[in-house]
Amino acid sequence: MKHWVRRPLPQREEINVVFFRGVSTDALTRGLLAERRLPLAYGKSEDWSVIMHDTLSWESGDHDLVPYGQLCRRGGELAVFVTEPCVAKAHAPAFEYYRDGQLITHFSFEEPSRPGGGDPPMLVQALTAAKVIGPEAVSGDDDDERIVEAIAEFFALPELDMP
């Protein structure tokens, strides 16, 4: 899974990768289309499914936020990776986790020690164990991959094999 974080996904840049459960693929696809985001790829595992979509709106060509909370109804969960928030500005990837329509935690990979949301410290223990944050944090070229691995392990996300 770690290899897709900081590179363009299938012949595209600025892609969001959304792992979801408790939400139908049809409902999520319709919601993304209503927000003018083009779904590009789908996948399914035993527990989580995945959908990739353009970060940019096809209408405005802008990074308007996708209202994931509205796409994640009661009983649903979304684990969202924004892989290239803005290629031109070289922003780091970001992560958002929604449950029952509420933003539970989110952070930029630039500052994983500064999460927000309804339960900001949710991933602190996992990120500390991965030595991304905390007193034993080690900074390196693999920071993004370690963050993704920690999140994937915490939520038991399926492997996302990219060519």
pLDDT digits 0-9 by tens, 41-83: 888 888 999 998 888 777 665 666 789 999 998 899 999 998 8
CB distance 45 to 113 below 8 Å: no
Q: What is the pLDDT of residue 61?
A: 58
Token pair belonging to 48 = 């989580």
pTM: 0.88
CA separation, residue 117 to residues 21, 120, 144 (Å): 20, 5, 21
The position carrying tokens 């892989």 is 83
Nearest to 19 by CA among 56, 59, 71: 71
How many Å separate Cα 70 from the centre of its chain? 16
Query: pLDDT tens-digit profile of 128-154?
Result: 999 999 999 998 888 988 999 999 999
Q: Pick the residue with more confidence: 160 or 120?
A: 120
Token pair belonging to 115 = 């999460």
- The one-letter amino acid code at 88 reads A
Nearest to 101 by CA among 134, 55, 133, 70: 70
Token pair belonging to 149 = 């691995």
Domain boundaries, the chain: 2-155
Q: What is the pLDDT of residue 10?
A: 54
* 34 — pLDDT class (breaks 50, 70, 90): very high
Q: What is the pLDDT of residue 12?
A: 59
